[in-house]
Structure 1
Amino acid sequence: MIVVTTNDIPGYRVEAVLGEVMGLTVRSANFGQNFVAGFRSLGGGEMTEYTKIMYESRNDVMNRMIADAQQRGANAIVAMRFDTGDIAQNFSEVCAYGTAVVVSPIPGGQPGATSQSAGQAQ
């Protein structure tokens, strides 16, 4: 699955637009993570407990978005974005969304072809 933040994929032709796809999660840190992070905040620096939660959240929502696109028959997602927000004081919402599309590589020698697409078109 090709996932890009751009509106098109160089070397590929969009054959069909299948609609918006998304993945969503709402997370909170556990008591231990909040406790350790509270002490760490006194000295400043990165809050590794929270960084880990956010990385895991982004991976989860990406996988959910990709699964949504695959169920629709897509082989790529364009215009992918992340969105985050807070729910109450202790919960973070992370969302990944984009447009599911079907793309085909442009063969070498044709306008718009790239070395990558030419190789895949063979």
Structure 2
Amino acid sequence: MLISTTENIGKDYEVLGEVFGVTTQSRDMFSNFGAGLKNLVGGEIKGYTKMLHTSREEAISRMTEEAAKKGGDAIVMMRFDSGSIGNDMQSVVAYGTAVKFK
């Protein structure tokens, strides 16, 4: 399925409606420990980066499934939003507009 951050994808389409995919991930004890150490010296916290990458991929997958259930051929105007829940959880949502090609 085509996923685009723009509205114009070079094809005529009809709008099916908003679709989204959301996931919430928690950090494991080892990532939290490593992050605490990294906080002292600075630099990238690779465990958290990997968690966010995985979260984005899962959110896209769920959004794509929802668009397919609506009969969509593509998703336009796709965006991400994310936020922390407490001290050790991260929520990521991917959202956009499902469309069907004419």
Alignment TM-score > 0.5, same fold: yes
- State the AA in 2 paired with 1:34: N
Partner of 1:47 in structure 2? Answer: 45
Structure 1 unaligned spans of 5+: 105-122
- 1:77 equivalent to 2:75? Answer yes
Give TM-score scaled by structure 1 length.
0.80
| Higher relative contact order, chain-length normalized (CA < 8 Å, sep 6+) | 2
* Among 18, 21, 28, the residue aligned to 2:19: 21
Structure 2 unaligned spans of 5+: none
Q: Distance in 2 between matches of 1:31 and 1:90?
A: 9
- State the AA in 1 paired with 2:12: R
Matched positions, count: 102
Q: Deviations over 1:59-97 (max 9, x none)?
A: 000000001001110010001000001222221110000
Question: Percent identity of the aligned residues?
Answer: 45
Q: Which has the larger radius of gyration?
A: 1
Q: 1:3-22 maps to which residues of 2 (within 5 A)?
A: 3-9=3-9, 11-14=10-13, 16-22=14-20
Q: Which runs of 4+ in 1 moved over 6 A?
A: none
Q: 1:76-95 maps to which residues of 2 (within 5 A)?
A: 76-95=74-93
Give TM-score scaled by structure 2 length.
0.94
